Structure 1
Amino acid sequence: MKASKLVYKPVGLVLGAVGSTLAGAAFHQTSKLFGREQKANDTTEADRPWRQVLLAAALQGATFAVVRAVVDRSGAATTRRLTGS
């Protein structure tokens, strides 16, 4: 394994944790835009229609994927600039 990949491993772990936190906050803010009083990912509520549950799940997945991609890409670019490889 290259030294640069070995150096990036702990950085990637920290960035993953930070990215998850940011993604959770972004999803929470996004779900507030829809004016839902309930927790958006509370799928066990009997009075919530399937459409609403599935839409919330898709939105949460998309939010996490986009935030993770931004954090991973930024972390890799910064590491590349600092280490030169």
Structure 2
Amino acid sequence: MPRNQASKPAKLLYRPVGLVASVVGGLIASQLFRQLWKRATPYGHAGDDAPKALSTAYPLKQILIASVLQGAIYALVKTITDRGGARLFEGVTGKWPGD
């Protein structure tokens, strides 16, 4: 389904919407990752935050798993919020902000 091509003014008007969508998406992704990490860790570490890259208390395998999970969640949420923001913008203006 082809979309209406965005004009230059429409793209400029979309920038604040896109910025807000990105910030909201980052906050949602962060909270979602924290909750999933707490559920995925054994009971002895249930209160712990995810390991950081330079943490010596965790094995490399666990650090890599946390990193991959965090990246996948961020990418998924970012895609959903970006697409939702673009659809909202299109509904209001009649112009698709991308392409």
TM-score > 0.5, shorter chain as reference: yes
Following superposition, the deviation at residue 76 of structure 1 comes to 0.2
Counting matched residue pairs gives: 85
Decide which moves more: 41-50 or 66-75: 41-50
More helix by share: 1
Decide which moves more: 50-59 or 33-42: 33-42
SS in 1 for 2:54: coil
Match of 2:4 in 1: none
Structure 2 unpaired stretches of 5+: 1-6
Amino acid aligned to 1:61: G
Q: Is 1:72 the equivalent of 2:82?
A: yes
Structure 1 unpaired stretches of 5+: none
Pair 1:48–1:41, CA change in 2 (3 A): closer
The separation in 2 between residues aligned to 1:16 and 1:41, in whole angstroms, is 24
Amino acid aligned to 2:27: T
| Runs of 4+ residues deviating >4 angstroms | none
TM score, norm. by length of structure 1: 0.90
Match of 1:49 in 2: 59
Amino acid aligned to 1:68: K
C-alpha offsets along residues 49-84 of structure 1, whole Å, 9 cap, x if unaligned?
111000000000001000000000000011001101
